Amino acid sequence: MLGWIGLSIGLLIGSALGAAVAFRADRSSLAIGTAGSILACVTGAAASIAALVSSLEESFLADWPLPIGEIHVGLDSLSAFFLACIFVISGLVTVYGAGYLRPYIGKRRLAPALTFFNLLVAAMVALVIARDGIFFLVAWEVMSFASFFLVTFENDREDVRRAGMTYLIASQLGVAFLFAMFALLGHSAGSFNFDSFAGNVPAGGSLAGICFLLAVVGFGTKAGFVPLHIWLPDAHPAAPSHVSALMSGVMIKMGIYGLLRTLLFLGSPPAWWGALLVGIGIVTGISGVLHALTQRDIKRLLAYSSVENIGIIALGLGVGIIGQSHGNGAVAFLGYAGALLHVFNHGLFKSLLFEGAGSVLHATGTRNIESLGGLYRHMPVTGLTFLAGSLAICGLPLFNGFASEWLVYLGAFQAGSGLPAAWGVTAIAAIPALALIGALAVACFVRAFGVVFLGESRTEAVTGAHEAGIAMRLPMIVTAVLCAVVGIWPAGALRLIAPAVQMFTHAAATTETLESLTAITRIASVLAGLVIVLVLARKVLLRGREVSQAPTWGCGYALPTPRMQYSAASFVEPLLRPFMALIPIRVRRDGPNGFFPVKATYEERLGDAAGERVLAPASRAFIQALSRVRIIQQGRIQLYLVYIAATLVILLVWQLAGVTGR
């Protein structure tokens, strides 16, 4: 199977180069890039799913003179699972991207978009099969920079440039921690080979602990743990929508993969790692969805909800680790399974939602949901798929989001009853957190879907809206169907990922979970049946009676206008009131003043807590400190001579003080 994976990497890189070479002819580079990526994704998806089903292990060591490290790749269930995610979602997104980029032809060079897109996919694949620290880092960095150049694709826009810079800073500071981790491991193990790590790091020791913390920070930056998430909400709106879909759907999961891989070679984890992850998950999930509620830029909203879902994944991991550390196979299985399944699910519905946002952006030219509304009638397919995505991301039954959250819940419940109280409490903390997150998510996506697609159109931006092209519609439909399938038949999905989960815990707890999941299928079908019955019932009841159309009942008000609809901001206002302490708010108001006020304006901006209360002040202080250092270079040659003399004296005194004592 590795051969096939290698082939698809080759295809990706080859098509990337091809697209780059053909940079003068946009159409051909678009064709080359898309074709190569689709081919590679089909090949890779087939290979990785086959590997996952047969849960085979492979490894290959290339003989190639690198200064350090070696090109060592391998394939196991975990890799196969993530490969499947990468290939499936990337393939769908590629098709969408082909449709999304078409209007740019002639307006802007397309080659970079395609080249870096394929490079990004290739880098992620290489990352997942890497079995050597250095090779891993190389792939990681290529991934970061490819995505950076994709984010700054429309770099003539100021906000895009700023977002790119934020992303660059975040990813580079993050990778510094990974450098530190691998350097430490490589130093203690004498080699950068993952297998040698596994052997040489005493499990649960201080070294393992330090490495775990480094990994949490380093990988967490990419995954978007709060407060390291700060780059996400800037980068996603800046990037072209299909890139946002890929980044949010797949790339940030590479952080999760890294964390899982680290857990594998750091040996059996102590319980506090799990507690830490549960804590991170709670903070990340809640603050992510809270900030999502405050956004009016639909892609920012989606980005924040990615942060939220990463939080859910972290909760799952935390519960799993706590279970694993207490040798409670069932809890461990449920936690890890929930996390992994949610990785896949979130990949599906988040890419779907970003694609939907992309087609809305295409149709109306705006990302501000306050100026949208009533889009459903113009773009039914987008609307329907977006609704499916919203239901899925809220974790509501019939769709895949529910299955994974259900697993995490179940794990937490079991942990509460099966573990010593101290750790039980930590695991159980996940339950109310998930409940709160779920309720907030429902509010958030009712708002998003309702304000964008339902009701009357708030501005004329919508009037000219048109449904997206087939190349964009098709992937959305397929993804939505996949969401529904996994949601209605979760047992199959679980059976597929079980081998990956069992790398962490050898739990036979699968069977009971599986039959519960089949029960879910049963109930889902009952629900679907009930709905159909009711629909028919209504048809029957209404037969022969007059069904009339009328304007919406305005409670007696004669002339309702679209601008009188509830706006997105007013929708969340009462909901956010209890949480306002957590969200920095900037108010700008002028007037009404004077006896005959002319006009008055009032504006509220809800910012990002971590960004505005922690990171921004820190960076400002840092720049200040640097500018204080700069006074040493002030141009006067006498001063420079003083530096030389002073250095000489200081060093001489320092070195000779000891020696000449005798």
Site residues for another protein, 533-552, by CB under 8 A, read: 534-535, 537-538, 541-542, 545-552
Tell the smallest beta-carbon distance from residue 554 to another protein (Å): 6
Q: Residue 363: how many CB atoms within 10 A of its CB?
A: 20
Q: Per rule CB under 8 A, is residue 16 in the interface with another protein?
A: no
Q: Per rule CB under 8 A, is residue 526 in the interface with another protein?
A: yes
Of 152-211, which residues contact another protein (CB under 8 A)?
Answer: 152, 155-156, 161, 164-165, 168-169, 172-173, 176, 179-180, 183-184, 186-187
Axis-axis angle for helices 26-54, 111-129 (nearest 10): 20
Tell the smallest beta-carbon distance from residue 140 to another protein (Å): 9
By C-beta, is 61 or 533 nearer to another protein?
Answer: 533
Q: Residue 216: how many CB atoms within 10 A of its CB?
A: 23
Tell the smallest beta-carbon distance from residue 55 to another protein (Å): 26
Q: Per rule CB under 8 A, is residue 310 in the interface with another protein?
A: no
For residue 242, the cross-strand partners are none
- Our CA angle for 316, 216, 439, nearest 5°, is 35
Q: Collapsing DSSP states into helix, strand and coil, what is residue 185?
A: helix
Of 383-402, which residues contact another protein (CB under 8 A)?
Answer: 383, 387, 391, 394-398, 402
**Encoded tokens for 159:** 């906000």
- Determine which residue in the list 54, 268, 463, 647 makes contact with another protein, applying CB under 8 A: 647
By C-beta, is 602 or 643 nearer to another protein?
Answer: 643
N-term to C-term CA, the chain: 72
Gap between the Cα atoms of 18 and 31, Å rounded:
10
**Region near another protein per CB under 8 A, out of 196-204, 275-283, 338-346, 515-523:** 515-523
By C-beta, is 519 or 591 nearer to another protein?
Answer: 519
By C-beta, is 93 or 572 nearer to another protein?
Answer: 572
Q: Please state the φ and ψ torsions of residue 380, each to the nearest 5 degrees.
A: -60, -40
Tell the smallest beta-carbon distance from residue 599 to another protein (Å): 23
Q: Per rule CB under 8 A, is residue 432 in the interface with another protein?
A: yes
Residue with tokens 């306002």: 580
Q: Which of 392, 391, 385 is nearest to 359 (CA)?
A: 385
Of 109-148, which residues contact another protein (CB under 8 A)?
Answer: 134, 137-138, 141-142, 145
Helix intervals (H) in 74-157: 77-101, 111-129, 133-151
Of 563-602, which residues contact another protein (CB under 8 A)?
Answer: 564-566, 570-575, 577-578
CA 358 vs. chain centroid, Å, equals 17
Q: Which of 440, 207, 216 is nearest to 317 (CA)?
A: 216
By C-beta, is 54 or 61 nearer to another protein?
Answer: 61
* Buried/exposed 368-401: b ≥16 CB within 10 Å, e otherwise: ebebbbbbbebbebbbbbbbbbbbbbbbbebbbb
- Determine which residue in the list 107, 506, 599, 636 makes contact with another protein, applying CB under 8 A: 636
By C-beta, is 602 or 640 nearer to another protein?
Answer: 640
Question: Could you write out the DSSP letters of every residue in 252-305?
Answer: HHHHHHHHHHHHHHT-SPPHHHHHHHHHHHHHHHHHHHHHHHH--BHHHHHHHH
By C-beta, is 555 or 587 nearer to another protein?
Answer: 555
Gap between the Cα atoms of 615 and 371, Å rounded:
31
**Region near another protein per CB under 8 A, out of 54-62, 197-205, 246-254, 417-425:** 417-425
Q: Per rule CB under 8 A, is residue 104 in the interface with another protein?
A: no
**Region near another protein per CB under 8 A, out of 250-258, 259-267, 410-418, 496-504:** 410-418
- Determine which residue in the list 7, 454, 471, 484 makes contact with another protein, applying CB under 8 A: 454
- Determine which residue in the list 456, 492, 612, 615 makes contact with another protein, applying CB under 8 A: 456
